[in-house]
Amino acid sequence: MAGTAAATTRLPSLWRYLWSWVVGALLVVWTTLLLVAWYTGHHEAEEVTDGQLVAVARLWLATVNVPTQVSPTPIGQDRPLAYVQDMAVIRWADGQVVTDTHRLASALGLEQPPAPGFLQREQATSNGRARWRVYVAEQDGARVAVLMNMDQRLDLARDMALKLARPALLILPLVALLLWWALRRGLRPLDRLSSDVAALDRMAGQRLDTAHRFREFSSTVTAINSLVDSLQARARRERAFASDVAHELRTPLAALTLQAGAAQHDPSPERLAQLEAAALRAGQILAQLLDLARAQRGGPQGEGPAWQAVDLGAAASSLIASHAPAAFQSGHELSLDQPEQPVTVTTQPLLLELALRNLIENALRHTPTGTQVAIRVWRTANALGVSVSDDGQRSGARARPHPEGPMGLGLGLRLVVRIAEELGATLERDGGDLPMTTRFSLRWPIT
């Protein structure tokens, strides 16, 4: 229990897992929003400033017709707001510069008027190279160029992008905190359901209450209750099987004890033969139990049993060959009837062999000399299987009801019932076709 509790403590909690994924999704959304804001800010700044360049150029052409004095104020100093953009103007008349507000014509190679439209120019300064956005307009032979420093336009773009992204920066921590609280509170019903499952006594017949607040839990509760019912049914079968095994072992062990005590006082051949028969009977029961355990775990190496396609006719033929000497000694007649086309079923070969072997041995053991034992492989429209029939009337074996199966003629058939459950088949008993009087069939439905 301590190891289980320690392992549970090391496991990550579901709400932390969900919260980390939700916060991760929020970060992706926030990053996307920041990128969109950055792109939008730069795009809008470019459109706004280009519009300003065009507006100033048109205004200058409409109002200025005489030479203009040079402005003594250097560009880019003491801008109170990012949206206030300084602009320089260069005007040409008759191919000569008549206006140069910021003395940039010579530095930018604009002594001669360029073609109308937008262009980029660079200027070497003490702080590096300065880039300029230039718009040239023409009207009635006069040309005007309006210039803007690209660094100022980049400042405007950053300012716009930050103003767009700042609400996301402020809201993200608050949203993450609210999600943490919501997930913790929302997972409380799941915690209560886990506590109910942990407190469930499956062996006492307890089940979970199906009345829950949320319909999403209905399928989970139904699945848990189905599992509990299955475990309880399996436990009942295990208890019944253990009871049958104890009953089967009690008789030969009691006889073994009595015969051993009698043999001490009268060690005659008859006494020793009876002692040997009781010991063989107990050993046979134990061998059957070991066969079942070995087949269920896939062999002595403990490997898991492999499901594969098995030819029922080939499996039955192999078992008939191995039981032929015993049938000859007991005076029984073994036969096999199978269709021309192979009948295959996906199953566990070891378990199938154990089931068929027990059915054949049961027929040989519980029927008199001269009995016919027929093994038949068959297929119908909705089922397939293999049957073991005999005409021995089973007079020497009295059937008693089995609490978990259709028959009770010894431990061998109880093993077959258990194996049929493992293989997804059913064991059926009926009178068979004349002249047979008893038939046991392993039946697989065709789905």
pLDDT tens profile 128-164: 888 888 888 888 778 888 888 888 778 777 777 777 7
The architecture (CATH level 2) of 308-445 comes to 2-Layer Sandwich (3.30)
Residue 280 scores a pLDDT above 70: yes
183: its two tokens = 């997930």
**Mind listing the pLDDT tens digit for each residue in 308-335?**
899 999 999 999 988 888 888 889 999 9
Q: What is the pLDDT of residue 213?
A: 61
For residue 288, pLDDT beyond 70: no
Q: In what order do the strands lie in the sheet with 426-430?
A: 333-337, 372-379, 383-390, 438-445, 426-430
Residues 6+ apart with CB under 8 A from 11: none
Q: Which of 34-43, 163-172, 400-409 has the lowest mean pLDDT?
A: 400-409
Of 140-149, 201-210, 387-396, least confident by mean pLDDT is: 201-210
Closest CA to 89 of 141, 31, 153, 132: 132
Residue with tokens 């009926």: 430
Higher pLDDT, 203 or 98: 98
Pick the more confident residue, 406 or 443. Answer: 443
pLDDT at 306: 67
- Per-range mean pLDDT, top range of 151-165, 201-215, 237-251, 340-354: 340-354
pLDDT bin (cut points 50, 70, 90) of residue 182 is confident
More confident site: 191 or 69: 191
pLDDT grade for 302, boundaries at 50, 70 and 90: very low
The structure tokens listed for 51 are 């519009």
Question: So what's the pLDDT on residue 303?
Answer: 43
- Delimit the CATH 1.10.287.130 region(s) of the chain: 216-296
The segment(s) of the chain belonging to CATH 3.30.565.10 are 308-445
Within 10 Å of residue 295's Cβ, how many Cβ atoms? 21
Average pLDDT over residues 230-244: 74
Domain 216-296 has CATH 1.10.287.130: yes
**Nearest residue to 37 (alpha-carbon basis) of 126, 151, 169:** 169
pTM, to two decimals: 0.45
What's residue 388's pLDDT?
Answer: 93
Token code pair at residue 69: 């004095």
Q: List residues bridging with 144 in a β-sheet.
A: 91, 137
Bridge partners of residue 376, in order along the sequence: 337, 387
The residues near 52 (Cβ < 8 Å, ≥ 6 apart) are 85, 87, 148
What percent of the chain is predicted at pLDDT more than 90? Answer: 10
Q: Describe the chain by its helix, strand, coil percentages, rounded to 5.
A: 55, 20, 30
